[in-house]
Amino acid sequence: MAGRSASQASAGELLELVRSGRATTRGALQQVTGLSRATVGQRLDRLFRAGWLREGAGGPVDSPLGGRPSITLEFDDAHAVVLTADLDTRHARAAVLTLSGEILAEHGGTLVIEDGPEPVLGELGRWFAELLEKAGRGAREVCGIGLAVPGPVDCETGRVIQPPIMPGWDGYDIRGRLARAFTEHTGAGEVPVLVDNDANLMAYGEQRTGYPHCSAFVLVKVSTGIGAGVVVDGSLYRGIDGGAGDIGHIRVPEGADVLCRCGSYGCLAAVASGGAVARRLAEAGVPAASGADVRDLLEAGHPEATGLAREAGRRVGDVLATVVTLLNPGVLMIAGDLAGTPFVTGVRELLYQRALPRSTARLDVVTSRLGERAGLVGAGALVVEHLYAPERVEERLRALGV
For residue 128, pLDDT over 70 is answered with: yes
Task: State if pTM tops 0.85.
Answer: yes
Q: What pLDDT score was predicted for residue 6? A: 46
Please write the tens of the pLDDT for every residue from 302-349.
Answer: 999 999 999 999 999 999 999 999 999 999 999 999 999 999 999 999
Q: Which SS3 state, helix, strand or coil, does residue 201 take?
A: helix
**Rounded Cα distance, 170 and 154, in Å:** 11
In angstroms, the CA 256 to CA 275 distance is 17
DSSP state of 370: S
Among the listed residues 329, 341, 167, the one whose alpha carbon sits nearest the alpha carbon of residue 245: 329
H or E element, residue 92: strand 91-98
pLDDT digits (tens, 9 = 90+) for 19-44: 999 999 999 999 999 999 999 999 99
The predicted structure's pLDDT at residue 60: 54
Q: Quote the percentage of the chain above a pLDDT of 90.
A: 86
Q: For residue 2, what pLDDT is reported?
A: 45
Query: Helix 274-283 to helix 291-299 angle, to the nearest 10 degrees?
Result: 70
Among 117, 124, 99, smallest CA distance to 181 is for 124
What does the pLDDT look like over 62-93, one tens digit per residue?
545 455 567 899 999 999 999 999 999 889 99
